[in-house]
Amino acid sequence: MDGTMNDRIQRLIAAARAGDIYPKTVHVEYDAFDENLSDPQRIAKRLTEYMAAQPCAFSDDNELVGMVRFDGSVEGPLFPRIGHRFFAQTRDQYYCKPQENLCTFEWQHSNADFGKVINVGLVGLRAEIVAARRNYESDIHRLEFLAGLESMIRGIVNRSRQYAAECRRRAADPETAPARRAVLLRMAANCEWVPEHPARTFEEAVQCLYFCFQFQPDSIGRPDQYLLPLYERGLADGTLTRDHAKELLQELFVMIHGWTPPCSKNADKGGESHFAIGGYTLDHRCAWNDLSELILEAMMECDLVRPQVSLRWNRLTPRSVLRRVLDAERHDKNKRIAIANDEPRIADMTGRRGIPWEQAYDYITVGCNEPAFQGGISLGGNKVNIVRSLVRTLDGRRAEALECRDFDSFYTLYEQELHHDLETALNWSNRFNMLRSRDCNVLTSLFMSGCIERATSVTQGGASRALWCAVFMGSTNLIDSLAVIRQFVYEERRCTMAELISALDADWKGHEALREEILRDGRFYGNGDDFADGVAHRFYRSVAAFADGRTDFFGHPLAFGNLTGYNPHFAWFGAQTKATPDGRVAGSALLFGSGQSDGKDRSGVTSLLMSVAHMDPTGVMCGDSIFNLSVDEAVVQNDESFEKLVTLVETYFREGGLHIQLNHVSAEVLRAAKKDPDRYKSVRVRVSGFSAYFVGLKESIQDDVIARTEHKA
């Protein structure tokens, strides 16, 4: 912890870590009369009444205010969708419940355009409402929606005035120390100005962000871009110091951390708080600036789990910036930092998906590192068991599979099943979204791009910026299985398709020798070997062929990915999936992410990185894809080898790798490896010139290595 850290922030952190920093919610009885109002008008009225009844709570350490928590009695923020009835119905039916062992419905994100409200204020949004009204003169539903939005603006302004009044009340208290009194008066003035009007200072901007975050508590987008002009102006005219700016950011981060209460099952996770720094500016310059650096510094001084941040790397990012972010990463015990590559992602957005470049250049990260837009909604989000398509080929179409004389004919058959499953998953996704689109939202819709102009709720297709993505569980299992079929059945003819299928039917019982041979000699993905990597290319080309020309029912182009969120879908789907040709036994977990596992990557980290960087020649996997890399903790800790790690990551990006998150092989991993050697076969310990599989060391030496690793950490 930095010794210069401010005591006030330290106390705020302690409070956020110790307990719920939100005020208790106050129950509100709504009058029955309003049942006659249209949905948008009724929701806006009730939200206004609800917010007005909630206490204005903040501590003597706060300089930013605005917290409010919704209790679900009205449709509140779109994330986490408090009060949305049809969403709740969808969730009860599908959330975390694998449908036909193929897909589930998951959380979908939406991100407010905080930069816009900072710049134009609610008055600017109201002007847009007035303008939009002229376009819908005879459309009573849309006019009602716009009236709801306008009424919502009044409710929000009312709430900010309440906070201002509370600040003035406390300032007037004779018990209040003079220094605090001055601060309270400044806070009151801030709340009287924002979010109603455009922010004039950095402090007003952060106050606006803090206040509006309550209405869509998801990604804060690209704060190093939208806060930059006021930051620079404040430094230039002497009204802001770098330290004060840092303090404001830290107070914001404490609130974001505390937004998830300690009693939540997600309290130790980073989840709904990811944002982005760096990347490109809209005029194609490297967007990293002093504020990006300050944000990182502010985060590193705070022992918090949230928010999480990604560096958007691109070809203009200097190595010094990558080194800076990786250096923060290696020192961050809370593991909040990841890095994503702009190049393949922007290329796919502007190319295959036809997204306007101004939007693509401005993409952000959200949740578990999914790409998204400020003022945009994430659709899809379904986890798809991609291994099922192969099981259906081998089981459902067995007679045809047995007739295939070469890999090409087998693959043609497989591709039909793949497209069948992708179509089914898309149908599920459309059904979820249709059901949810019966919800109306007037709170978050205010901050989403397009909802005012279209006079349509964000839940009903109002957002003009959106990304649709479904994610695969088991793509590495699938690619390896196809590669094994190609190698063992058709090219080396070590077994027949009939033998392989009987082995899978018997879950390898009585066929252990075949399984061992596959595990030993199989040419698996992730080894920089054109054989298996070629199978990966073919598979992703098939996925791209499916996506080509298709959209979801709102009309958004399709993309795919491979991450897992909070929930272990890979285990759930795996539990219901029989043995697969890659040597996987029935019921065991599927793999997620772009990497390899269980010792199947045997050609070193550079080969793995090359395979991952080149895995998808089409860009269709530029959705929610991740890659977790385990690196030896000693490499990370030693400055000289750390420098080589920086170059390793940079080269991986230059080769087209999309994302990377580092796991340092820690004492914890080594202990797990000692207990369960089969799962950690590929964990190696290295000491200058010596390297060996950890699981092959004598127990006493294993213990010694563990002790040393701990010592270094």
Partner 1 sequence: MSETSTLVFDIEKFAVHDGPGIRTVVFLKGCPLRCLWCHNPESQSFEQETMAGVNGGPPETVGKAMTVEEVMASVRKDKPFYDSSDGGLTISGGEPLAHFDFTLALLAAAKAEGIHTAVETSGFAPRERIEALLPLVDLWLWDVKAPPAIHKKLIGVEAAPILDNLAFIAARGAAIVLRCPLVPGVNDSDDALAHIVNLAKNTPGVRKIDIEPYHPMGEGKSRRLGRTGYFTAPFATDADKARWREAIFGPDGCE
Residues within the interface to partner 1 (CB under 8 A): 516, 520, 528, 603-607, 610, 635, 640-641, 644-645, 647-648, 650-651, 654-655, 677-678, 681, 685-693, 695-698, 701, 704-705, 708
CB proximity list for 560: less than 8 A, separation 6 or greater:
469, 470, 471, 472, 543, 547, 620, 621, 623, 625
Amino acid at site 693:
Y
Strands 659-665, 558-561: pairing kind: unpaired
Min dist CB 56 to partner 1, Å, is 54
Q: What distance in Å separates the CA atoms of residue 272 and residue 109, rounded to the nearest whole number?
A: 8
Phi and psi, residue 534, nearest 5°: -65, -35
Per the CB < 8 A criterion, the answer to whether 209 and 251 are in contact is: no
Q: Which two tokens stand for residue 553?
A: 């029912």
Q: Which is nearer to partner 1, 310 or 611 (CB)?
A: 611
Q: Which is nearer to partner 1, 2 or 640 (CB)?
A: 640
Min dist CB 321 to partner 1, Å, is 15
The alpha carbon dihedral of 605, 607, 613, 616 has a sign of: negative
Strands 376-385, 370-372: pairing kind: unpaired
Min dist CB 241 to partner 1, Å, is 36
Compute the CA torsion angle 655, 382, 221, 291 (nearest 10 deg).
-40
Q: Which is nearer to partner 1, 188 or 695 (CB)?
A: 695
Min dist CB 330 to partner 1, Å, is 14
Q: Which is nearer to partner 1, 267 or 697 (CB)?
A: 697
Q: Which is nearer to partner 1, 383 or 681 (CB)?
A: 681
Q: Side-chain half-sphere of 201: how many Cα atoms within 13 Å?
A: 19
Q: What distance in Å separates the CA atoms of residue 620 and residue 612, rounded to the nearest whole number?
A: 14
Min dist CB 691 to partner 1, Å, is 6
3-state SS of 94-152?
Answer: HECCCECCCEEECCCCEECCHHHHHHHHHHHHHHHHHHHHHHHCCCHHHHHHHHHHHHH
Min dist CB 605 to partner 1, Å, is 5
> Is residue 448 within a helix (H) or strand (E), and if so which, with residue range?
none
Q: Which is nearer to partner 1, 147 or 683 (CB)?
A: 683
Min dist CB 488 to partner 1, Å, is 18
Q: Which is nearer to partner 1, 42 or 324 (CB)?
A: 324
Q: Which two tokens stand for residue 315?
A: 């070809």
Per the CB < 8 A criterion, the answer to whether 277 and 228 are in contact is: no
3 state SS of 376: strand
DSSP 286: B
The alpha carbon dihedral of 575, 578, 580, 586 has a sign of: positive
Q: Which is nearer to partner 1, 243 or 512 (CB)?
A: 512
Q: Side-chain half-sphere of 664: how many Cα atoms within 13 Å?
A: 23
DSSP string computed for 162-215: HHHHHHHHHHH-TTS-HHHHHHHHHHHHHHHHTTTS---SHHHHHHHHHHHHTT
Min dist CB 650 to partner 1, Å, is 6
Q: What distance in Å separates the CA atoms of residue 143 and residue 137, rounded to the nearest whole number?
A: 7
Q: Which is nearer to partner 1, 70 or 627 (CB)?
A: 627
Min dist CB 523 to partner 1, Å, is 14
Q: Which is nearer to partner 1, 296 or 649 (CB)?
A: 649
Q: Which is nearer to partner 1, 12 or 532 (CB)?
A: 532
Min dist CB 686 to partner 1, Å, is 7
Min dist CB 676 to partner 1, Å, is 10
Q: Which is nearer to partner 1, 33 or 690 (CB)?
A: 690
Min dist CB 602 to partner 1, Å, is 10
Min dist CB 639 to partner 1, Å, is 11
Amino acid at site 666:
S
Q: Which is nearer to partner 1, 431 or 614 (CB)?
A: 614
> Is residue 703 within a helix (H) or strand (E), and if so which, with residue range?
helix 699-712
